[in-house]
Structure 1
Amino acid sequence: MIVSLPVNWIIIIDVFAWTFFHLAISAICLKMPFSWFLKDHFWFQTFSFEQSGKLWQRLFRVKTWKGLILDGTIFLKKGYSKKGLHGTKSRDLMVFAAETKRAELTHWLSILPAPLFFIWNPVWAGWVMILYAIVFNLPIIVVQRYNRGRISAITAGTRGAMKKKLVSK
């Protein structure tokens, strides 16, 4: 701990800091251009070992608990709700897949501030903050990869033409 504070203040600062980081990172990701999420960046691609999302279902039984995760749009009153599909047309699926990329990026970035908590927390609490960041964000990342894998399998044949239409809008 670099800064020594009473426990009550540490707890208050932790709650406000996490709230700030989650909201700020979400707002930044919401401001990113939609077209950026339509691209097949390496870190967003569905890898063959994921078996179009089947790996995540087999390892974590995603279908049984993904409905329990709150959608961030209820807090920000902005964005694209991923609680369900907004349609089954190719365009709808491409938009949903792009929004899963936005959500995944948001949650990867939300893990990054965790080491800052060592500044005002005792070492053991700093590690608790890192654990919190991982436990809170990884399930959401898994759900995004699961959903995107399933959508990628469905849209594989129409992807190129649809992206051109979406980017041009």
Structure 2
Amino acid sequence: MTTPLSPLMALLTSILGWLLWSGVVGALANRLPLPWLARSRVLWQRPWPESLQSYERRWAIRRWKPWLPDAGNALPNGVAKASLVGRDRRNLERLVLETRRAELVHLALWPFWIATALWLPPLGVLINLGFATLFNLPCLWVQRYNRLRLQQLLGRP
């Protein structure tokens, strides 16, 4: 039987785990080729209707979206979304692909809370589930919202 971690060690190991996992996921996502992101995938299509208005009304996304950080350029060859501000078709299409990359990152980050069950008691795992959801779900919503806005600008569904 293993000795339970002190609260400080549980916190530190969770922080370190999240940082390491974020680095691994970010590095792998950064290597995904643009043509792969451009292909039509089930991941990008929702079985329910999505609209800009639903994100704006239901989630008030325009109110809090500017407060989220952009880690797109945290890794070498990464792309900060603010750097793609041109409204020409090429930049807008590239930004659509970057929203897909960011969505994949946040989908891949979220399940790390399950790994915390290896060293944390159930309450610690639940806290990590809450953390994972609180920090990834809004980012997913923003990526989907931004993609809808960009596709509207590009004149396609």
The equivalent residue for 2:116 is 117
Q: Deviations over 1:20-43 (max 9, x none)?
A: 011110110001111111112121
Q: What is the alpha-carbon distance in structure 2 between the residues aligned to residue 55 and residue 79 of structure 1?
A: 30
Q: Deviation of residue 83 (structure 1)?
A: 3.4
Q: What is the alpha-carbon distance in structure 2 between the residues aligned to residue 142 and residue 136 of structure 1?
A: 11
The equivalent residue for 1:104 is 103
Tell me if the contact between 1:103 and 1:144 (Cα under 8 Å) persists in the aligned partners. yes
> In structure 2, what residue type is equivalent to 1:87?
G
Q: Is residue 61 from structure 1 mapped to residue 60 from structure 2 by the alignment?
A: yes
TM-score of the aligned structures, taking structure 2 as reference length = 0.90
> In structure 2, what residue type is equivalent to 1:14?
S
- Secondary structure, counterpart of 1:76 in structure 2: coil
> In structure 2, what residue type is equivalent to 1:95?
R
Mean Cα displacement is larger for which, 94-103 or 37-46?
A: 37-46
Q: Deviation of residue 5 (structure 1)?
A: 2.1
Judged with a 3 Å threshold, the aligned counterparts in structure 2 of structure 1 residues 6 and 146 are, in CA distance, closer, same or farther, namely same
The equivalent residue for 2:75 is 76
* Alignment coverage as a number of residue pairs: 157
Q: Deviation of residue 117 (structure 1)?
A: 0.6
Q: Deviation of residue 150 (structure 1)?
A: 1.2
Counterparts of residues 39-50 of structure 1 (less than 5 Å): 39-45=39-45, 49-50=49-50
Deviant stretches of 4+, over 4 Å: none
The equivalent residue for 2:8 is 8
RMSD: 2.2
Mean Cα displacement is larger for which, 37-46 or 59-68?
A: 37-46
> Any gaps of 5 or more consecutive residues in structure 1?
160-169
Percent of pairs with identical residues: 25
- Secondary structure, counterpart of 1:72 in structure 2: coil
Q: What is the alpha-carbon distance in structure 1 between the residues aligned to residue 33 and residue 103 of structure 2?
A: 15
Q: What is the alpha-carbon distance in structure 2 between the residues aligned to residue 62 and residue 83 of structure 1?
A: 18
TM-score of the aligned structures, taking structure 1 as reference length = 0.84
Q: What is the alpha-carbon distance in structure 1 between the residues aligned to residue 93 and residue 58 of structure 2?
A: 26
> In structure 1, what residue type is equivalent to 2:71?
G
Judged with a 3 Å threshold, the aligned counterparts in structure 2 of structure 1 residues 2 and 78 are, in CA distance, closer, same or farther, namely farther
Q: What is the alpha-carbon distance in structure 1 between the residues aligned to residue 40 and residue 97 of structure 2?
A: 10
Tell me if the contact between 2:73 and 2:79 (Cα under 8 Å) persists in the aligned partners. no
Q: What is the alpha-carbon distance in structure 2 between the residues aligned to residue 21 and residue 15 of structure 1?
A: 10
Q: Is residue 18 from structure 1 mapped to residue 18 from structure 2 by the alignment?
A: yes
The equivalent residue for 1:30 is 30
Q: Deviations over 1:122-150 (max 9, x none)?
A: 10110110111011001010000001011
Q: What is the alpha-carbon distance in structure 2 between the residues aligned to residue 77 and residue 69 of structure 1?
A: 21
